[in-house]
Amino acid sequence: MYRDRVDTDTDEMFVLAKVELDEFLAGERKTFDLPVRTPGYEFSERVWAMLREIPYGETTTYGALAERLGNGRLAQRVGQAVGRNPVSIVAPCHRVVGAGGSLTGYAGGPDRKRFLLELEEPAGITGFATVLESQTSRFTRLNWSANLTFWITHDLTR
């Protein structure tokens, strides 16, 4: 039933994932080349594909993703799919925020979500995630140029 254990220090995919995540967390990478397979239902797969299309340094809302799927009333279902994203950071679910700008619905917790959003801030802008969270007006996109093992082993605060 179980496959052989993978040596995370020598397995090609784990090494590539670690390199790319380290580069991302150092601010040296904005997209991932890591091939991923996300086994899920068709709806979830469509949502996860849209997550990978959200550019570095930009956010969108659950409602905006639902609208792109053709029905704005699917925002809660979109949120459920985002919450089940098996490759957070690679499919950047941290870039999805609540309609009022709240930092909701991140499996890694609000502190990690805030950290990742602030990591992607352009030079000269600080505290954007805090400002975003305090917004009360609706928006669909703000432009401001893990479930992986690494959530457990990688210190995001170093």
DSSP H stretches of helix in 38-124: 42-53, 62-68, 75-83, 110-119
Q: What is the pLDDT of residue 8?
A: 86
Q: What is the pLDDT of residue 145?
A: 26
Mean pLDDT of 12-40: 92
Strand spans (E) along 14-57: none
- When the pLDDT of each residue in the chain is averaged and rounded to a whole number, the result is 79
Residue 2 binned pLDDT confidence (cut-offs 50, 70, 90) = low
Is a pLDDT exceeding 60 seen at residue 158? no
Q: What is the pLDDT of residue 131?
A: 47
Contacts (Cβ under 8 Å, ≥6 apart) of 120? 56, 57, 95
Is 93 one of the annotated active-site residues of the chain? yes
Q: What is the pLDDT of residue 62?
A: 95
Read off the pLDDT of residues 73-118 as tens digits, 9 standing for 90 and up.
Answer: 999 999 999 999 999 999 999 999 998 888 887 888 889 999 999 9
Q: What is the pLDDT of residue 126?
A: 52
Cβ count near 109 (within 10 Å): 10
pTM of the predicted protein model: 0.75
The one catalytic residue in 47, 93, 96, 97 is 93
Read off the pLDDT of residues 35-80 as tens digits, 9 standing for 90 and up.
Answer: 988 889 999 999 999 999 999 999 999 999 999 999 999 999 999 9
